[in-house]
Each structure stands twice: as C-alpha cells, then as structure tokens.
Structure 1
Amino acid sequence: MLAFALLAAALPLVSAIDPPRFPHQPLGNGTKRLTFNVTTDAPGSLSPSTRTLNWVGTGKDGDYIYTGSDGSFLFENIASGESTTFLSADKIPADYWDYFISPDASRVLWAVNYTKQYRHSYFADYLVQDVESGEVQPLTSNSAGDIQYAEWSPTSSSQIAFVQGNNLFIWNDGEISPVTTNGGPDWFNAVPDWVYEEEVFGDRYTLWWSPDGKYIAYLTFNETGVETFRIPYYMDGEAVAPSYPRELELRYPKVGTKNPTVGFELLDVEALKTTNIPIEAYPEDDLVLGEVKWVTEEHGKVLYRAYNRVQDHEKIVVVDVPSGSSSVIRERDGSDGWLENYLYITYLGPVSNSNATYGNSSGDYYLDVSDESGWNHLYLFPVNGGEKIALTSGEWEVRAILKIDSKRSVVYYTSTEHHSTESHVYSVSYKTGKKTALVDDTVEAYWTASFSSGGSYYVLRYGGPDVPYQELYSINSTKPIRTIVDNKAVYDRLQTYNLPNITYHELQHPSGYSFNAMLRLPPNFDPSKKYPVLLLPYGGPNNQQVSKAFNTLNFKAYVASDSELEYITYTVDNRGTGYKGRKFRSLVTANLGDLEAQDQVWAAKELAKNPWVDSDHIGIWGWSYGGYLSSKVVELGDPIISYALITAPVSDWRFYDSIYTERYMKTTQLNPEGYNKSRVHDSTGFKKIAGGFVVQHGTGDDNVHFQNTAALIDLLIGDSVSPEKLQHSFFTDSDHNINYHGASRFLYKELSKKLYEEKKRMGDLKGGHQWSKRDVDGRVERKWKA
C-alpha cells in the first residue's frame, strides 16, 4: 500500500524571495478549480515566466543585451544596472527572426524571412548591419529565403561562414567565396540531414570554427541510397484542399536500412583549401559520428567522437591538423547497454595540481561526462590520451554542465546528489577537486543557473516544486544582489485556486530497484471515497517524468480538478528511465516495451491496494513513446487496466528512425526476436479491455509517422476488435504536436469525454459532461451530451 498523507505546513526555503516558497507543489488557498478552458486555451495565465539573459562578452563582465520598451536594443550590466543603447528601434529590421552579434559588436547578422524546416532547422535570408552607421546589406544577393545557416568567425567581424543550397560559403567583408559546389538534395555540406539533426546533434549546423578563426571543421552527409519517406499534406495550410496533396519527400533511414555516409573535412579559411580527413574508426556502414570539438586554443588539434552503428562502442579520435594524421586516444565498450551522446566535450588546456588526494596531472585536458563508473560524472581526459581524472563521483548523476570558468579553473554543474528527482547547483575546481554547493542541497528543490560570460555573476533559477523565481548573485557572495523574476502575479493567481495535491514517493519493486512516483490527488480529496486513476507515463530510455520541478497546470492537472472527473493521476518512472544510474537504464536494452509495461501494471496494482482507489477504473494515457507504452500495457491484457488513451504512438520499431531505435534495440539482424516482441502485435488485450481505448494521430507527423497508427488500427480491425472497444481519430496535416487547425482542443475534449464515459460506464454518473466552464474571455461553452 502506498504511504500517503496530505501535505502539512513545511518550512520555507531560506531565501529573500517574497512570498516565500515551500518544498512542495503549490496547493492554492482558494475555492476555484482548474477548468478545461484555462488549462488548454490559456495555460500561460497560470504559468511562471522565465527571463533568459543573452549574455555578451564584448564589454564588462555581466553585460547582456535586451529589447527596450520602444523596441531598441540595449546593453545593460546586470550588476550595476547601467545601460547604453546598442541599436535604436528604427535601425532594427521589423520582421527579424533572430540576430547574432559579431565578436567586437561592430556588426549584427539578422535572420529574416524565416521558414521552419525541421525541429531545429529553418531557412531564412540574412542581413549584415554596421552598428555605427546603421547601414544594412544582404549577406548574399542571390538568396530567396533559402540560407540554412550562418555564423560569425569567433575572432573577426569581417568573416561569416554560411550554408545555402547545401553548399558552404565564406563571406569576407562582402566578398563571397564558395567552399563547396557539390551540395544538392543528396549531399549536405556543413549542415545535418534530418536524422543527424533529430537524433545526434539536436541542432541545425555541423561546422565548427577553430578558436583562432583560421580553420573550420565540417561534416558532409551523402544520402545516396537512403530511403525516402513521403508524407502527404491534404490541406497544406489552405482553406480548400488541393486536388492533389503536396507530398513532403523526406530521406528517413529506418531500422535496418542505409544510413547517410558521413565525411569529415578541414577548411583552411585563408587559403580556401579543404582537406578530407578519413574516418577510420569504423566502416562507413557501421558509423555514427557523434561530436566534434576543437581541443586547442588555436587550430592544432580537433577531436571527434565516433560510434558503431548501434552506439554501444565508441572511439575518441584526435586529428593533428598540420599533418592530417589521426589517432584514437580513448575507446570504450558499452555493449551492456548503449552509450549516450551528451555533446559536453570542452577543451580546458593545461591542467596541473599538487593535491595528493586529487592526483597529480599535467598537460592538455578536455572535460567530458561519462557513466563509466555506472553513474554520469565529470572527468578530465588528456588530449593526448592517458589516465582520466574523476572530478565527481558517487551513486548520483550529473544532469548538466552549466559553465566552465577557465579563469578560475571551475566547472559549474547541476546534479542529483541529494535525490534523483532533484537538481542542485555545484561548482568543482579542476585544479584542486574542491566541490562547493551554490544552493542548500538539503532542501528538496529543482535548481539551475545561467552564468555571465566572464563567470563573475550568475542568475540562479529556482524551478520548483513551488512557483519558480530567479535571483542574481555574485560568485563572491551567498546573498542575492536582487530578484530578477519573482512570478508574484502567478503566485497570487494560484492562491485563488483549490489545486490538486502532488506528492512524491519511492516504490520498492520486487526486482530490488526503486521507482520514482508522483501522485496527484483531486482537490478536497476524501480518503473515504473511491477515485478513478489515470496513469501518465512516458517511460522511454533515459527519460525522466518524475521530478521536483514545478508541475505545469495543464490538461493533466485539469482531469484531477474537474468536479465531474476528479481522477487521481499517477506517474511512475519505470525501469529504463533516467538519472538512476547506467544499470537501471540499461535494463531495457534490446527489449523495449517489455519491462516498462510490466512496471506500469505492477504500479497500478500497488496503487489499487489503497482503499481510496476505484480499482474498476484504472487507465493509462501516453503520447509518443508514452503512447507506445500505453499500447504495450493494453497488450498485456491485465484486467487492472480498464481503459487506455493512446496518442501518436510507435507501434512497430521497424517504422522508426535507425539512429534512435538501433541505439536501444540493436539491428534487426542482431535482434530479430526482440523486434518481433517489441512491436504491438497481439490484439487479445485490446479485445478484453473493459472500458475500451482511444487512438489518436496526426497525418502530417514527420517524427512518429502516421504509418504506426495505420498499421495498429489495421491489426485491431483485422482481428475483429469491436467498435465498442476501439475509437480512433486522425488529425489532418498535424505533426507530432497535433495542433494544426484546432486539433489540440478537439484532442483534449475527446480525451475528457472518454474519461467521463469511463466513470459513467459502471453507473457512477448519469447524463453527459457539462462543458459549461467559463473561458478566459468570459464566453460560455455550449453544453453537449456525451
């Protein structure tokens, strides 16, 4: 049985923030309940804001740039508050999408005429502006909103590298020189193709200037032989559908098919001479190239991280630029699971110390995160190879590297040292090994920070569990200089509500592992009553849903709050999820969907032992991997699960992209049985589920293709699953977010209706759900009967 108690008074955080924050999710102090309209149409009214500072390193430490009330750009010093106008409003392009300031702040590169491509990439025109004169010139005269990327040299305001038509160019004070001419639909220079953007780099570029600006390392991608997946767009943004749908032709390598072939090039910027560096770490058909970093203060050495195709073996290779020779300096076998590509490698330079407990070291080092010990920790690695030095250790994990202060030889980072659901900020010296907590890590909380360019100041962000806020600190003081964002308006607004009560738990599983769980109880919870339950997993490899971060008041909070629904929601991070160590996350290797589904069913049964749980109404809802997991839970056919909501699911891993899937499942040749077992293939549980299920998907999903749901529905209908059990909706042209043309509102209403019908199924309710909650603009929803 789950240990449970309503939250009582707790001591606030030690902080000057007003109102004070407490180590639990906000409960509110009013009588209002969250409504469908507020949580779906205007969640921002109850969402804390965050101020992201665009630090600049061209003036005093602590300078950042911001937009003034009149639209002008100003430099302000975060500590002194002194500000100067950088660009007046009349000099700023009206339709700019983004901007990039040159190294000496004498010029600005503007991205205008933006068109989204994939998750991170976009097309645009670029303008170069002289700050003093305000004069603007196009980066190139022949662009038509088709430039893919542009970046200043790190040392010069007269040089820009940019990519157009998959070719790389150098802009040198208005003169343009082509570096490549072979770019085209099947050949990418200095920008990633779809799969490398989505699954490897998480960004829109694959070029890296050397620190001295004299060289550029860049990757090429040859997509010849990579299969094409076609996605039809039936409306294509028009009011009247075209006779023939537009088709997006996407080179999308699926499991077991050909991946793009990666090349590594070095460009001498002055000579405009390119040298190909052979990648010999693995054969080209067994290669995923994961990271590129310069490991020098000039241009002498550049490093790349290579994986085999299934990403369970890696080699770190250093290229000597003058000679073009390569050497493997580090190699690791991770075949007990997989190896993550965290993209944290950073060159530190010479490191020496004499602390006997820390170790003696000299020579050039780089910083990286590795789970070689079984937990993600910070290490120093010699650029020339040799013994590593551990900066952190213990049965907890580093979450993120926030800042490397080379002047003070300090690394700032967040970690789970106090608990795997929390995040606290620390520093560690890579000269002495001394570690310091920047926050009180004995208080349950979720912290992160943003540091000024020179590292003298930082904005500390309290991210939960109570209402977030941000404060400014100097590294030489433990007292805040001032509050940057207090979110008092949101805090006060939440006090007018009677909010669900969120508590955190650790479940002891028979396997010996513990699972983190988050329980959300309806307002005015009465333990003498029985409540229906909605499980809310994601459950994917290395993912985390249960954390002490502020819980957004969205649809998940609504289903607990609505007086006609009042569902308990329950989120459990099953085996395979993140921040519990390598062994825990590796348990699902080559066997996705098995242990995760078993764990969710087990958690449901454990919860059902509580007298306030209605064990006849326990269901599950998931989106993406969560949708897949929900399907696998139904497939198990356990009667503890009485209904399911399945949104944008994977149904067969052979339909998903190769780099993501093979990282966890290996290849179909190595693991044919695993692929057969992992797909949703048995309709028996779908036939038996008492309250039926809903399946939803967008037809324009370029991530988890609609093919997954089409195949799943065909399986179920072909196996005679009854219409009483199966309800399915598709959303025309919607991508993975399902929000095109009003789809999001319909989707959540459909889910709400299903949850109401589930309560009604056993005679708990009469009639239909009354959609009569007032919207934020005062209108009343038309009533309808379920």
Structure 2
Amino acid sequence: MKKHLLIIIIVLTNLVFAQENKFSTEDIVLNSYTTLAPSSMEQLKWLPNDAEYSYIEHDGKNQILMKGTRSGKKISLVDLEELNSKLIVYEKKSNDRFPKYTWITDSKFVFWIKNILFSYDVRLKEIKKMNEIPTEAEDKSTSFDYKNIAYVLDYNFFVKSGSNDAEQLTHDGSYDFTYGKSVSRNEFGINEGIFWSPSGKKIAFYHEDLRSVTDYPLLKLNTIPAKTELIKYPMAGGKSPKVSLAVYDLEQKKTTWLETIGPEDQYLTSITWAPDEQSIYLGQLNRDQNHLKLYKYSVSSGKQDTLLFEEKNDKYVEPEDGLKFLPNDSEKFIWLSRRDGWKHAYLYTTKGKLIKQLTKGDWEITEFHGFDGAGENIFITSTEAGPDQRQFYRVNIKTVEKNLLTSDAGSHSVDIHSSGFYFIDSYSSLEVPKRVRLINYKGETESILLNSPDPLIGKNIGKTEIFTIKASDNTDLYCRTVFPSDFDATKKYPVIIYVYGGPHAQLITNTWPVGRYSLWFYRMAQEGYIVFTLDNRGSSNRGLEFEQATFRNLGTVEIEDQLKGIEYLTSLPYIDSNRIGVYGWSYGGFMTTSLMLRANNKFKVGVAGGAVIDWNMYEVMYTERYMDTPETNKEGYEKASLLNYVDNLNGKLLLVHGTDDPTVVWQNTLRFAQEAMHKNKKLDYFPYVGHPHGVGGKDAIHLYQKITDYFLENL
C-alpha cells in the first residue's frame, strides 16, 4: 500500500513539475524578449574616437550609462536619476527609461525627449537644450553634426538651422501630395525621405504625388456609426505614385528639383551624396523593375550629369543599397549587386568605370559594415560559411584578399569602431544564448563583455535540429525540427509546420531562438507536437536563382518544396501522417491557406494570419516585382488566387486578420470568407478589431491562446 502511494506521489510530483515548466501564453507574449531572452547590453555602442564603448546597466529601478575599456574596466558616466534631475527644468514628468543616445564626441552625447533635442556632457555633468521642433512634427532628421533639423508637418517639409526659426520649404503638402516622407511603400531599401549632405549644409528630400493612387477605406469601429479612414493603396496593375527628389541649400536658401528624365511611374532609390556635395546619385528603376540606371546629378542645376551604368535582368532587379564612397578617395565607390547571381561588392569610379569585383562565390553579403580608418579594407558579414551562418570578414580593396575575423559557428552581429581596428562581436547559436566580445583586427579576443546564461534553463525543452533535404531540382532546402522534451522514437507524433516562404525572409539560421514564435514552438512541443520549418525556394539569402524560382507563379514552387518536407516527415516512423497542421502569417498566411487548398488534403488543420488571398489585392511594388502585372500575367494571377480553390477546403482552417491592416488589406480574407459561404464550406474566422498587420499589446495574449487552442482541439 505504501509502495503504491509512493508511486502515485512521484507521478503527481512529476506532473506538477512538468506543468510548472511549460511556457504559458503570457510567457510567450510578455516575456519572450525580456526574462526569457538572453541577457544583453542595452544600447551598446562605440565612442566616436577612443576605442571604448558604452551601454546601459540596470540597477534596480535605476539605469546607468556605463563606459567600458578594452581592458575590461567599467566606469559610471551618468544615471537616469541624475539625468532626470537636470531635465526637470524642461519637463515635469520624469523619464522611466534612459533615452536613446548618440555620441557626438567622446564626452558628449545627444538625445531626444519628445520634440526637444538635448546634449549632455559626461565630464562637465552639464545638460543643454540644443533645439526644439513642434510636438506634431513627424519624420524628424538631424544633420550629422546635430546642428540642423528637418521634419514634416502636415505633409509639408521644414528645415530648422540652429536656433533660427524653422523654414517651411513647401506649402501644398497634403494626404496625397507628400514631402520628406518615405516613398514607394518602403520597397527598394527605402525607409526614409530625408537625406542630409555630409556637412549638413544641404539636404535632399522626396516628394510623392499620390493623387492618382487608389483611396482604400479602413473601417473604424469605435464610433457609432462606424467611420472610414482612407489610405493610399496602389494595387497591382493600378496607378503607381509619382516620385521626385529635391535638394535644398541651407546657405543659399535655394531649392533645386532633379530633372529625373523617364516615365512618371519609375522608382527612385539608392540616394547618395557625393563627398564634395556637388553631386547626388540615384538609381532609376522602371515600373517593370527589370532595368536599373544609376545616374549622377548636378546639385546646382538639377540636371543629369553621368549615366554610370545599367543593370538588367529578365525577371527583376532589386536595388536596396546606396553607394559606399571610399574614405580616402572620393572618386571611387563600392556598389552592392546581384548581377552575377549572388550579392557581392564591386569597385567603381565616379565616371562609371568598373575597376574590379571585390567578392565572388556562391554566397551572399548580408551586411556591408564599412571601411577601416585608412580606407584600405571593407568589412562584411556573409553566408560564405553556409546559408545558416553569419560570419564577419575583412576584404582588402587592392588585393581582394579576404580574412575571416569570427570563427565560432552561428550568427555574428558586428559593430566596427571608427578606426576599423576593433569590433564588438555579438554572437549566438543553437547552443550559445549570447556572447559579446571585443575583438581586434586579427580576430583575436581582447575581452569578453557578456556571456549570457541560458534564459530557458529549467524549462521543459526538447532538442532542435537543423539539416537539409533535396528539392526536386536537387537544391538543398534547409529545415529545422523542434522535438518534444520527452521524445520517444517508438511513438507517433503530430506535426505543426510553421511557414513563411516568401522573399526577404530566411527562417533557418544557426542562432539562439528568441521571440514569440520561438517560444510558441517550444510550447507546442511541450504539448506533444513536433514543430517543423523549411525555407523553400523563393526565400532569401540563397542567391538569385533560388529566389527567382517563383517568378510570375507565386505559390507553386513553394508548395512543391513544402511537400518535399512532408514527404521527408512522413518517411519517419514516429510521424503521424494523419495529423499534420500548418501555421503562418502574411506571406506565411498565403502559404498556409495554399497548403490547405492545393496539397491534396495533406494538412488536417491550418491557422493563417493576415493572409494574401488574391495578389490582385496586394501593393504594386512588391507584387509586380514577383508576378508582373495582372494584365501581362493573367494566368499566373489566376493560378495563385486562393479564391479559385475554396472548393478544396476539407480540413479545419482558421483565418485571423487585423481589421485596420494597411499592408495586407482586410478585404483579402473577407473575400475568402464570402466565397466559403457561397460554396457552403466550413471556415473559422476571427477579426482582430482595430489591429494593423500584426496583433500587439494585451490582445496578443488572446491571439496566441486562440492559435494554441485551435491546434490542441483539432490536431
């Protein structure tokens, strides 16, 4: 009797322990980037000149700006309490977080508090108000010396020089006629609309004419009756914005518009100032996005000066970077291009002569970091060690000799000092949560700044594996499997496929799992599911041929590759082939719905968030790059439209969508629901009222619980 009681107690204890070590929905939503993420050095950055660094250290409720030296010595510079005591003159409310700061000298940093720019001298312990702009101002941008500020107010463009009154440079700005704002829906590497010259004496800014672009209504439900808010949304095949670029000379008080010859609907990108500020460079890309011309323009006249070169591709060209001028030679620059099928660096003269290709191989540059102090070497991060790796290299411009400066397998994120002699290397892998070290020019470790403990220690977590399988054309497809902690190969397990599958994303990398999705994978593994992910052709950082395999036919090759993953899984003795589910968001929502409808009932359950249903309803720039226009590729659009496959819905499908989504408009999944209604097909649907493309705030708890419960109840 006692023996039986002891066994019961042990079993119950183990059950309680297992439950306590499971991830809750609150853990996933609220703690995935904090207590359940690796330790970090907040706002870690180099000082401008000395090879010393700074970061924010937390001490209870207080936050301290620390300085560290190469030898490992740490010095307190100023804490939040002291900073707040000096800010009280300007604002009554204390700040609860140390502001984002930027060093302008080794002893002085600047920071914004709302609409006021301050400087603080850590030696003199002195704070100064440097400038102030209206509280309603948007898109604020400072010159590199922080003496001048540009901003947008009511869609018009303003420049404020020092303590002088702001100058309003435009007066006809409106909702559909903007100045100084990012254009072309942030495609082509565009994420701002204001470009300061090196000295801060001149400034370039975008103008976007959206008057011919479709108005799209977002339904606002918090009033009675509901109201609509109009946004500009250029759908595939429709009218595209007209973009132009102006230059303003702060000393001469003169605005010059560049005479960008070409079609009105061409795209302008890669804006770069010449070091002497007499010229400005920009790429002009045609609407078909298969022909790029890089021009040099005269700043004084606005006229085209030189056509440096052209890039063409029978599918598409996608410029995402500006020119990188050599610090010791203003007549030479580096251009990043995928013209040979992989993203590499090319050395050019300002007359458009190609001097040499600096990097070569079947791998991609994922980040260009800059130059050393002498301008003799460049620093890059690349996939040369493997598509799932990120390693840091030095490349000599003269000899093109390449040296690896990091060696630990995994993902390295590097910040270079202005001298180009020291680097802060933040590294992680599946085995290493985070390690931050200071390394030198030879790749040798000078000091360890941080070695994060495992934030998931004690949690009920199984192993994660990264491996490859073959696509139908023998291409390697990278995969990841997350196993239950009590995995037993003699048992059968259901599988959840997490999918994205579209451009500009790579899911399988050798890095520590951080974030909501990663913890949700662990949560579902704790519930007895195997979680599987595959990067299909069409996704990023595998070369142009790999990415362009889906051209004009989105949703077909991707499905083929994902089914190769299913073929692999179902060959394993421990996989229950009758219990396979799929989940994804955005392009992943498109893929989830596609797999539920176009994979011969291989999937029993699916959850699709913010899904594109019909590419006719998605934006011009992105869609036409990968699909051409609906007029020139009618067959491709028809084949990709999921409205044409609703009859095939036999499993359990949940669609969720933010009703204020300005990226994938709500109409997509509403049309799908309408078609399911007409065809008497069962469909589960949940609108996240008032949310955009993602669900944030406390409502994310509802979202993740709903997704979790849907799989638990149906798979």
The amino acid that maps onto 1:617 is R
* Separation (CA, whole Å) in 2 of partners of 1:290 and 1:545: 27
**Is contact 1:290-1:305 (8 Å) kept?**
yes
Instruction: Report the CA distance between 1:474 and its aligned residue.
Output: 4.1
**Residues 717-765 of structure 1, C-alpha deviation per residue, up to 9 Å, x if partnerless?**
111113xxx211111112222235x432222222222222234xxxxxx
* Separation (CA, whole Å) in 1 of partners of 2:19 and 2:689: 39
| 1:469 partnered with 2:437 | no
* Separation (CA, whole Å) in 1 of partners of 2:513 and 2:279: 45
| 1:727 partnered with 2:695 | no
One of 269, 272, 275 as aligned partner of 2:250: 269
Structure-2 change in CA distance of 1:745 and 1:102 (3 Å): closer
Structure-2 change in CA distance of 1:202 and 1:500 (3 Å): farther
Structure 1 stretch displaced more, 634-643 or 465-474:
465-474
| 1:76 partnered with 2:67 | yes
One of 226, 230, 238 as aligned partner of 1:257: 238
One of 508, 523, 527 as aligned partner of 1:565: 527
* Separation (CA, whole Å) in 1 of partners of 2:328 and 2:418: 21
Per the alignment, residue 752 of structure 1 pairs with 708
Per the alignment, residue 640 of structure 1 pairs with 602
Instruction: Report the CA distance between 1:699 and its aligned residue.
Output: 1.1
Per the alignment, residue 11 of structure 1 pairs with none
Per the alignment, residue 317 of structure 1 pairs with 295
Partner SS for 1:713: helix
Equivalent runs, 1:129-144 vs 2, <5 Å = 134-136=127-129, 139-140=132-133, 143=134
**Is contact 2:328-2:374 (8 Å) kept?**
no
The amino acid that maps onto 1:166 is Y
The amino acid that maps onto 1:91 is K
**Is contact 2:118-2:127 (8 Å) kept?**
no
* Separation (CA, whole Å) in 2 of partners of 1:182 and 1:65: 44
Structure-2 change in CA distance of 1:434 and 1:31 (3 Å): farther
* Separation (CA, whole Å) in 1 of partners of 2:644 and 2:417: 55
Equivalent runs, 1:226-237 vs 2, <5 Å = 226-235=213-222
Instruction: Report the CA distance between 1:347 and its aligned residue.
Output: 1.2
Instruction: Report the CA distance between 1:161 and its aligned residue.
Output: 2.8
Instruction: Report the CA distance between 1:586 and its aligned residue.
Output: 0.5
State the superposition RMSD in angstroms.
2.9
The amino acid that maps onto 2:151 is F
Instruction: Report the CA distance between 1:248 and its aligned residue.
Output: 2.9
* Separation (CA, whole Å) in 2 of partners of 1:641 and 1:108: 55
Structure-2 change in CA distance of 1:175 and 1:604 (3 Å): same
* Separation (CA, whole Å) in 2 of partners of 1:513 and 1:246: 51
* Separation (CA, whole Å) in 1 of partners of 2:593 and 2:567: 18
Equivalent runs, 1:132-281 vs 2, <5 Å = 134-136=127-129, 139-140=132-133, 143=134, 145-155=135-145, 158-176=147-165, 177-193=167-183, 195-196=184-185, 198-203=186-191, 205-235=192-222, 242-280=223-261
The amino acid that maps onto 2:285 is Y
Equivalent runs, 1:285-434 vs 2, <5 Å = 285=265, 287-296=266-275, 298-326=276-304, 327-335=306-314, 337-348=315-326, 364-434=331-401
Partner SS for 2:545: helix
Equivalent runs, 1:688-699 vs 2, <5 Å = 688-689=650-651, 692-699=652-659
Identity in percent: 22
Higher relative contact order by CA 8 Å / sep ≥ 6: 1 or 2?
A: 1
Per the alignment, residue 35 of structure 1 pairs with 23
Instruction: Report the CA distance between 1:211 and its aligned residue.
Output: 1.6
Structure-2 change in CA distance of 1:476 and 1:386 (3 Å): closer
The amino acid that maps onto 1:457 is Y
Structure 2 residue runs without a partner (length 5+): 1-16
**Is contact 2:524-2:531 (8 Å) kept?**
no
One of 502, 512, 519 as aligned partner of 2:481: 519
Instruction: Report the CA distance between 1:508 and its aligned residue.
Output: 1.2
**Is contact 1:593-1:678 (8 Å) kept?**
yes
Instruction: Report the CA distance between 1:499 and its aligned residue.
Output: 1.2
Equivalent runs, 1:514-663 vs 2, <5 Å = 514-552=476-514, 554=516, 557-558=519-520, 565-663=527-625
**Is contact 1:252-1:657 (8 Å) kept?**
yes
Structure-2 change in CA distance of 1:316 and 1:559 (3 Å): closer
Instruction: Report the CA distance between 1:105 and its aligned residue.
Output: 8.2
**Residues 450-475 of structure 1, C-alpha deviation per residue, up to 9 Å, x if partnerless?**
12233332111112122332333242
* Separation (CA, whole Å) in 2 of partners of 1:471 and 1:97: 22
Partner SS for 2:676: helix
Structure-2 change in CA distance of 1:160 and 1:695 (3 Å): closer
Instruction: Report the CA distance between 1:395 and its aligned residue.
Output: 1.0
**Residues 130-161 of structure 1, C-alpha deviation per residue, up to 9 Å, x if partnerless?**
86763537624xx2x21113333334x54333
**Is contact 2:269-2:282 (8 Å) kept?**
yes
* Separation (CA, whole Å) in 1 of partners of 2:474 and 2:442: 43
* Separation (CA, whole Å) in 2 of partners of 1:563 and 1:411: 43
Partner SS for 2:638: helix
Structure-2 change in CA distance of 1:313 and 1:49 (3 Å): farther
* Separation (CA, whole Å) in 2 of partners of 1:744 and 1:590: 35
Structure-2 change in CA distance of 1:451 and 1:276 (3 Å): same
**Is contact 1:636-1:685 (8 Å) kept?**
no
* Separation (CA, whole Å) in 2 of partners of 1:103 and 1:559: 43
**Residues 448-502 of structure 1, C-alpha deviation per residue, up to 9 Å, x if partnerless?**
21122333321111121223323332424544233222212xx1x5332331211
The amino acid that maps onto 1:283 is P
Count of residues in Structure 1 that have an aligned counterpart in Structure 2: 681
Instruction: Report the CA distance between 1:54 and its aligned residue.
Output: 5.3
**Residues 168-222 of structure 1, C-alpha deviation per residue, up to 9 Å, x if partnerless?**
33322311223333323222222225x43x334453x322222233322222111
Per the alignment, residue 451 of structure 1 pairs with 416
